Structure 1
Amino acid sequence: MSAVLLWVVCPKENAHSLLSLVPRNCCTQRRCSSSNKLLSSKLSLSSGVAAYSSAVANPSRSSEERVYEVVLKQAALVREQRGESELGLKKPIETDCTTDWNLLNDAYERCGEVCAEYAKTFYLGTLLMTPERRRAVWAIYVWCRRTDELVDGPNATHITPKALERWETRLNDLFEGRPYDMYDAALSDTVSKYPVDIQPFKDMIEGMRLDLRKSRYENFDELYLYCYYVAGTVGLMSVPVMGIAPESKASTESVYNAALALGIANQLTNILRDVGEDASRGRVYLPQDELAQAGLSDEDIFRGKVTDKWRSFMKGQIKRARMFFDEAEKGVAELSSASRWPVWASLLLYRQILDAIEANDYNNFTKRAYVGKAKKLISLPIAYGRALMEPSKLAKLVMR
């Protein structure tokens, strides 16, 4: 379903479920008593833009225009904190000295363990980040994965719109310093330190709602909005934590836009890789109007036969995904040097899935495209080399 993790990592790559991490009362109003002990002091919301969803407020505009308004608001929040230097932490929160920091540290460590189990390559890269940043990255990852599991996990058939409403209430509470459990507590602490806004988190939940009620997308404009909800949002969540290189000359808006582009690229890649799997569940995440223009229909997808029409259609879809990857690469070059490697590694590996689809002769009905271990091992040092380059030099390399 969604491509979740800090621009790049997709939960569908992993067979195991994270639902075991969600307490039985995760979607209820009752909070765990342990979380009250964990963060008894209230963590204040960061100042900045109001939580307002431009992506749904003005349906007369294109999805790209509406989503870009969200991008601008998130960038403004970071720009306030960044100034002329590298993105720094907000002032330490004031507490009443009752916060149990040992338990909070345990919460972050558990988030790291989850990341290590479900996103091994990315986790390896996070170890190069500063301790504060990598802990924050782990906390965001866990929340995204748990959210995705609600509608894409083994118990997804039991999830209702009301349950997602309760999950959103829980999100509001943790942003206000009232976490329900240890994983919420780690994220609550993270958003108190970095200029992370709640809106991308809310929009991701909106993407989960779409999966409950929608299985067809009439055109790419509709599909783009869905991709933003379930994957592009992750980039907006993570940029404040990843940080922007102090020597970067790029605007904050352009870095955010690149993060958004990478989320879109990843989700489009998911969709193209999983055509057959989604069809088995009665879902078609391909623009209906473009299918019709290619002389194809849902029936052709359910039939699962590779034809010349299908190959031609797939070539166009892959070309579009690569264009978003190209745009995303410009932004990775502007990130803080310690944050680039995990993003570069995941980007290069994920992009190769498109190559694998081509190698399978565009048979994404019965063959699952994947990147072999050998190619993964080759990609890691390449990603590391790019991570060490200065933004200006890397930008020239990307533009070639």
Structure 2
Amino acid sequence: MTTVCDVDTAYRRCEQITRSQAANFAYGIRLLPPVKRRALSAIYATARRIDDIGDGTLPPEEKLDQLARTREALHLLPGDDGGDPVLTALADAALRMPIPLAALDELIDGCAADVTGRTCDTFDDLHWYCRCVAGSIGRLSLGVFGATDPGRAEPLADALGVALQLTNILRDLVEDRMNGRIYLPTEDLDRFGCTLRLDGARFADPPERLIELVRFQARRAAEWYDNGLRLLPLLDRRSAACTAAMAGIYRRLLTRIAADPLAVTHSRVSLPGREKAWVAARALVGRSA
């Protein structure tokens, strides 16, 4: 049986992973009370592990094998954690809170799609992918936050995850393409006459077409934020502040992308740390960014 000390050590490891690797999410997580902060860190550390398998350098068949073994290990929770600190923390959190661990299956499905090179022909395809890799995290987080009306809250948490992932896709447009991945739907590329073919480290498409494509995607993401942020009144103050901080950082990033669409075709767009801290501080006092 895992001791209390072992659990504390496991949570500290998850918090360390979150602080070092979750540059944007860490600002919101800090606003939670300790029990919820530790639980959300356990969820993030687990998701980070799954993402790292998909984004790693192993051959595809080995990645898929690791994802399958990770899925099997998660299915044993909240019972046998195998002495793994990340799984120990996640199992403890799941015993304390109604965290829907089955949502991690969807995250693994999304990562497996990356490994196999699945492409998105339509927005429905992209929505499926976003729901797997990010909507799942929204639903897992909701298990930590709690909500006054869970039935209403769940699809809103899912929508907010989709909004964040759509922003990620725009932010990482060049980086993903250099890694052989295109997430934007083929139907949208065709609509705006773009191929996202690389010429060195930049896209070869005419700039005016890229601008139209990126702004179209940014407007779509903004609509998902508008829907997802209806979740905030259903959460307690600290959980709402955490959610508002994370969403606020990404929405400001989206606003920056929409204002200068060609920036994402040259490099990865980001916000300075002081701006992220400002967004988090406003979220804590209940003001939007």
The two structures have a TM-score, normalised by structure 1, of: 0.66
Q: Residue in 2 aligned with 1:288?
A: 186
Counterpart in the other structure of 2:146: 243
Note the alpha carbon deviations across 1:194-214, whole angstroms, 9 max, x for none.
222232011111111101112
Q: What residue number does 2:109 align with?
A: 206
Structure 2, unaligned stretches of length 5 or more?
none
Q: What RMSD, in angstroms, separates the aligned Cα atoms of the two structures?
A: 2.4
Identity of aligned residues (%): 29
| Partner in structure 2 of residue 317 of structure 1 | 217
2:170 matched to which residue of 1? 272
* Bigger-Rg structure (1/2): 1
Q: Which residue of 1 aligns with 2:79?
A: 176
Partner of 2:16: 113
Find out whether 1:328 has 2:231 as its counterpart: no
5+ residue gaps, structure 1: 1-39, 41-98, 388-396
Residue equivalent to 1:73 = none
How far residue 255 of structure 1 moved from its aligned partner, in angstroms, is 1.1
Alpha-carbon deviations, 1:289-318, whole Å to 9, x = none?
Answer: 121122223447974445222212222111
1:370 counterpart residue number: 270
Q: Write out aligned runs for 1:334-373 (5 A).
A: 334-373=234-273
The whole-number CA distance in structure 2 between the counterparts of 1:373 and 1:306 is: 33
Q: Is 1:104 matched up with 2:7?
A: yes
Structure 1 pair 160/117, CA: closer, same or farther in 2 (3 Å)? closer
CA distance in 2, matches of 1:194, 1:382: 28
Whole-angstrom CA distance in 1 between matches of 2:12 and 2:268: 33
Distance 1:124 1:219, change over 3 A: closer
CA contact (8 A) 2:28 2:246 kept: no
Deviation at 1:153, TM superposition (A): 3.4
| 8 A Cα contact 1:360 1:367, kept in partner | no
Q: CA deviation at 1:285?
A: 0.7
Give TM-score, length-normalised by structure 2. 0.90
Of 164-173 and 226-235, more deviation after overlay is shown by 164-173
* 8 Å CA contact retained: 2:238, 2:284: no
**Cα–Cα, structure 1 residues 327 and 175, in superposed 2: closer, same or farther, change >3 Å?**
same
Give 2:39's match in structure 1, choosing from 128, 136, 142. 136
Determine the C-alpha separation between the residues in 1 that align with 2:203 and 2:98: 48
SS state at 1:364 partner: helix
The 3 A distance-change label for structure 1 pair 145 and 317 is same
Alignment of 1:17-32 (within 5 A): none
Query: Number of paired residues?
Result: 287
Q: Is the 8 A contact 2:71 2:105 kept in 1?
A: yes
SS in structure 1 of the partner of residue 264 of structure 2: coil
More relative contact order, 1 or 2 (CA 8 Å, 6+ apart): 1
Counterpart contact for 1:170–1:180, Cα < 8 Å:
no
**Alignment partners' CA distance in 2, 1:122 and 1:352:** 14
Name the CA distance, whole Å, in 2 between partners of 1:193 and 1:347.
Answer: 26
1:257 aligns with 2:165: no
The DSSP-based 3-state class of the residue aligned with 2:114 is helix
- In the TM superposition, residue 190 of structure 1 has moved relative to its aligned partner by 1.2
Q: 1:281 to 1:129 in 2, by over 3 A?
A: closer
1:175 positional shift: 3.1
Write the distance in 2 (CA, Å) between the matches of 1:132 and 1:287.
Answer: 40
Aligned-pair distance for 1:362? 2.8
The residue type equivalent to 2:168 in the other structure is N
Q: 1-side partners of 2:16 and 2:76: how far apart?
A: 24
Q: Which moved more, 1:167-176 or 1:230-239?
A: 167-176
Whole-Å separation in 2 of the counterparts to 1:361 and 1:240? 36
Aligned 1:188-207 pairs, distance under 5 A: 188-207=91-110
- Which residue is 2:70 aligned to? 167
- Where does residue 79 of structure 1 map in the other structure? none
Instruction: Give the Cα separation in 1 of the matches to 2:272 and 2:11.
Output: 31
Distance across 1 between alignment mates of 2:244 and 2:157: 12
CA contact (8 A) 2:137 2:161 kept: yes
Whole-Å separation in 2 of the counterparts to 1:255 and 1:202: 20
Structure 1 residue runs of 4 or more that deviate by more than 6 Å after TM superposition: none
- Contact 1:215 1:282 (8 Å CA) reproduced: no
**Comparing 125-134 and 363-372, the one that deviates more:** 125-134
1:102 is displaced (CA, Å) by 1.3
DSSP-derived class of the 1:282 partner: coil
CA contact (8 A) 2:28 2:280 kept: no
Aligned partners of 2:218 and 2:263: how far apart in 1?
13
